[in-house]
Amino acid sequence: MLAGLSPRTVDRPRFPGPANRNSVSVLTPGRLCYDPYAMVKKLILATPRGFCAGVVRAVDVVRIALEACPPPVYVRKQIIHNAYVVDELCREGAVFVDSLDQVPSGGTVIFSAHGVSPQVWSEARSRSLNVIDATCPLVTKVHVEAIRYSKRGYTIVLIGHEGHEEVVGTMGEAPEATVLVSNIEDVQALEVKDSGKIAYLTQTTLSLEDTREIIAALRQRFPMVQGPPSEDICYATQNRQLAVRELAAVTDLILVVGASNSSNSNRLVEEAINSGVPSHLISDVGKIRQEWLQGVEAVGLTSGASAPEVLVDQVVAYFERRGSRVEDLVTREENVHFALPPELRQPPNQLHVLS
């Protein structure tokens, strides 16, 4: 949607130097010196990008809990997959732990946006923990679907990445009935006891194209396979991937701001590469490598659903200082908001303790 491409009117300090210098010069035989005056002409920002509604809700949950609950407030695992956000919340007082046995009995603990298995909930109850559930509602939807299919005696084929916290939590809803597949080869090797009672679910942060190919392979092998009433891949994952496709049509390189353990951020890099444009995942501006920019006139910039906008702003400032013109590529508007969990809709002294 190139009609959405518009320039930003901002003051852009420029480095001095001749405009017609070569981008790469030979310093010594066999060694290239990258020219600091080589300029990327345009930086194009994808919109939508960055925080989704589930991430906003999860971060808000931690901050509200820090104000409403007696300290310390514990968070099981990373609240979202971004170290910058986790470090910031640590400075505000949150205590991040890997397991519930690190939380004292009767303490307050927040479950991350990725969701947890029933076994984790059971452990929390047994230790009288005050649980605040920050699970993204779209992840909860997948959990509910798993329970529904399991009760009906279906084999559940979960499409996702082994070891991802969201996958671990979803599989925990029906461990005996659920099998994990990550690619078409897994589908070809799949054995089920009743091909007439099989259903698929997906992790919410997968590649749209890869997932569709896997689903097509499932339908070919098991014509009676059922799927959820609506797609499990979340709206934000879809929107950011579609925006990258359009960004790829007008750029020579795409940078994705996000953490290495962020599934949706990694999928954006893959989407760009599959669209024919080199792409790199960067956790912050300090990870940009000058050699990536040689011969590049237009850089696209986006960020994963767990990357805060402050990290994007730093990258924008990096290119503005080097004289790049900044434009926006708007592919669609997002206006999704999720309510706070019920535990935080009560007065602080009445926060619900599981029983």
Output the six-digit token pair for 21.
């210098």
Catalytic residue among 67, 88, 92, 166: 166
Q: Among candidates 299, 344, 341, 339, which has minimal Cα distance to 322?
A: 299
User: What gap in Å lies between CA 293 and CA 278, rounded to an integer?
Assistant: 11
Contact assessment for residue 217 and residue 186, using Cβ atoms and an 8 Å cutoff: no
User: What gap in Å lies between CA 183 and CA 213, rounded to an integer?
Assistant: 9
56-59: which pairs have CB atoms within 8 A and are 24 or more residues apart? 56/337, 56/338, 57/113, 57/134, 57/136, 57/137, 57/338, 57/339, 57/340, 58/112, 58/113, 58/134, 58/136, 59/85, 59/89
Which residues of 160-246 form beta strands (DSSP E)?
Answer: 178-181, 198-202
185 CA to centre of own chain: 25
Please name the amino acid found at residue 29.
Answer: P
Q: Are strands 5-7 and 198-202 parallel, antiparallel or unpaired?
A: unpaired
Residues shown for the chain: 355
The answer to whether 213 is a known catalytic residue is: no
Number of H helices, E strands in the chain: 10, 15
Contact assessment for residue 344 and residue 57, using Cβ atoms and an 8 Å cutoff: no
Contact assessment for residue 49 and residue 334, using Cβ atoms and an 8 Å cutoff: no
The residues carrying an active-site annotation are: 166
